[in-house]
Amino acid sequence: MSEVVKQSELLNQTVLDQGSMQEVGQVEVLWMYPKVHRVLGFICKSGWLGKRKTAFNLEQLEAIGSDGVLVNSEPVETDAEKVKQLETLVGCEVWTDSGDQVGKIVDYLFDLRTGEIQHYLYVSDGWGGIVGSVYLLPPNYILRYGSRRAMVPKESVESFAVYRGGVQERFSKVKDLLSDENVQVRQEVRSLAEIAREKARRLKEKARSITEQAYEFVEDIALDETEPYVAPVSEPAPWDDWEDEPPKKKPKQEVKPPQTSSSPAADVWDDDDWD
């Protein structure tokens, strides 16, 4: 299974001999052949101020870790002058065939087993892309190149895919990039779930508080309705004496004239009764 890595992740890595586990030096630069877009090996620096230069073929690279690389055989001696003559497209400006500057190549991705460069990474200047964003440049789109510039077709610029949003991020491998993105997505989903649970908890507490207030309000109303009613003591209202119907007039008694008779009825007026 092929493993795609980014060349910048190898720079300044500690180089260890797998057999003796002795430190050989540090990776100074990758040795590439731009005409065929392939990595052939790397240059290791060691000694005082890194003046000693040794070259490793890609086949000698046994493993890459987060803190260093392992090699399986001895390197070949070289010198600084030969190292300076090594060609690279890193640092080259990207121009279109119509004379527009698109950006600048800052890195590339290559197959660790075969050395084949799969994509160059360039930072956009804003023409045909977003300023500061990193785009994938397939090697077959490079029409020609020199020591400072590479040319691409104008119509292809807008079709280049975005690699990542900023040049400050670092990923050791493309598969690690995908893994990190998955971890980040899971963390964001977990964070959103926690926020949702917190909001649900607050809404539940608020609903409970509103329910309790409603119960208290209903209980207060119930108590008010069950309290005995005591009518106030006061004088009757003036209209209390009014009757619905006017009082009926009593029939006048017929006054009869006194009767004169010698009957014992005269005893009624006996003077003795006034004693």
**pLDDT higher than threshold 60 for residue 272:** no
Half-sphere exposure of residue 216: CA atoms within 13 angstroms, side-chain side = 6
The CATH fold of domain 93-174: SH3 type barrels. (2.30.30)
Domain boundaries, the chain: 4-84, 93-174, 175-217
pLDDT tens digits along 32-55: 999 999 999 999 999 888 889 999
256: pLDDT confidence band, cut at 50, 70 and 90? Answer: low
Same fold, 4-84 and 93-174: yes
pLDDT tens digits along 1-11: 578 999 999 99
**Structural element, H or E, at residue 78:** strand 76-78
The residues, any chain, with a CB within 8 Å of residue 27's CB and separated by 6 or more, are: 10, 11, 12, 13, 15, 42, 43, 44, 69
Please, what is the Cα angle at 107 between 75 and 40, to 5 degrees?
A: 30
Domain spanning 4-84: which superfamily? PRC-barrel domain (2.30.30.240)
Give the pLDDT mean for 158-163.
92
Point out the least confidently predicted range of 81-95, 166-180, 225-239: 166-180
Indicate the SS3 state at residue 62.
Answer: strand
pLDDT for the residue 121:
97
Specify the pTM: 0.58
C-alpha to C-alpha distance for 27 and 43, rounded to whole angstroms: 6
237: pLDDT confidence band, cut at 50, 70 and 90? Answer: low
pLDDT for the residue 220:
63
